[in-house]
Structure 1
Amino acid sequence: MLSEPDPERVNDLLTNILGDAPTDGALRGAKAFTGRELAALALADCEARLDAAHAHYVACQPEEVDPDLAYCTDMLEDLLYMDDMLDETKREAIRRIFRVERFDTRARVSRQRLALRYLKEARARRDRALSAFLSHYDMAEGEVL
């Protein structure tokens, strides 16, 4: 997703990653960051974006079909095949209703595919940011800095 993540969420994640909070509770440009801190900031940003992409993906998942809507659809389909009861105008109206329903289904599937793509991209960025952060492993002390 292209929107900026919530700065407060990024700050919380950064605090968890580094194990300590910035002195004034927010990131300021006055202090020069080390490579480790920059890598942690990038990781926190990617984690926040991954959370947002996952929430968007879940929101795009299909809901259960309303039984009343399914019943109405079945009734319309039955009416469509009763030649003696419908004139051509009514038959065309029913056909258009079905086209709208199919268009809505295709649009929903398209949104789901796009949400899955965003989720995959966010995971890949987070994995790269995690690798970059872990490259700051201090071999002398044997712990993650």
Structure 2
Amino acid sequence: MLSEPDPERVNDILTNILEDVPSGGAFTGRELAALALADSEARLDAAHAHYVACQPGGVDPDMRKLSDMLEDFLYMEDMLDETKREAIRRTFRVERFDKRARVSRQRLALRYLKEARARRDRALAAFLSHCDVAEGEVL
């Protein structure tokens, strides 16, 4: 996702990573890496929420019933003229188009999620490279 993450969420994550957020002055390389990690974690959270929101919900029972009725009418040749039959066919085409749009949104949300996960992994590797193992620092 291209939007900026919530600054409060980034600050909360940064506080969890560093335990003591610097109040001013120049950041060290470790603190900058922690900030990048916090930013990427917040973006990953947002991408995951977007992906979950794009997943299909249950089918509305009334819509399913209407669709079944229209399909039944489509095959009753003695009751419908060609204009009504064409209207029913077009209704089904719109439903298929909506399904394709939904699948496209899901695919795009999955791509955003994968990109956010890869970005977070790179930020985590950069942060870990700044941790001084000799001092016994534990995350």
Q: Which band: TM-score by shorter chain?
A: over 0.9
Alignment of 1:12-23 (within 5 A): 12-23=12-23
Counterpart-to-counterpart distance in 1, 2:27 and 2:22: 11
Q: CA deviation at 1:138?
A: 1.0
Give the aligned partner of residue 4 of structure 2. 4
Q: Does 1:142 align with 2:113?
A: no
Q: CA deviation at 1:94?
A: 0.3
Q: What per-residue deviation string (whole Å, max 9, x for no partner) do you get for residues 51-89 of structure 1?
A: 000010011010100111111101100100111110011
Moved over 3 A (4+): none
> Which residue type is aligned with residue 96 of structure 1?
R
Match of 1:80 among 74, 84, 93: 74
Give the aligned partner of residue 109 of structure 2. 115
Q: CA deviation at 1:144?
A: 4.3
Q: What per-residue deviation string (whole Å, max 9, x for no partner) do you get for residues 28-64 of structure 1?
A: 6xx2111000000000000000000001001101010
Counterpart-to-counterpart distance in 2, 1:8 and 1:127: 22
Give the aligned partner of residue 61 of structure 1. 55
- The structure with higher relative contact order (CA 8 Å, sep 6+) is 2
Uncovered stretches (5+) of structure 2, i.e. residues with no partner? none
Give the aligned partner of residue 91 of structure 2. 97
Counterpart-to-counterpart distance in 2, 1:22 and 1:138: 18
CA contact (8 A) 1:138 1:144 kept: no
> Which residue type is aligned with residue 96 of structure 2?
R
Q: Tell me the matched-pair count.
A: 139
Name the one with the larger helix percent.
2
CA contact (8 A) 1:15 1:22 kept: no
Q: Does 1:130 align with 2:117?
A: no
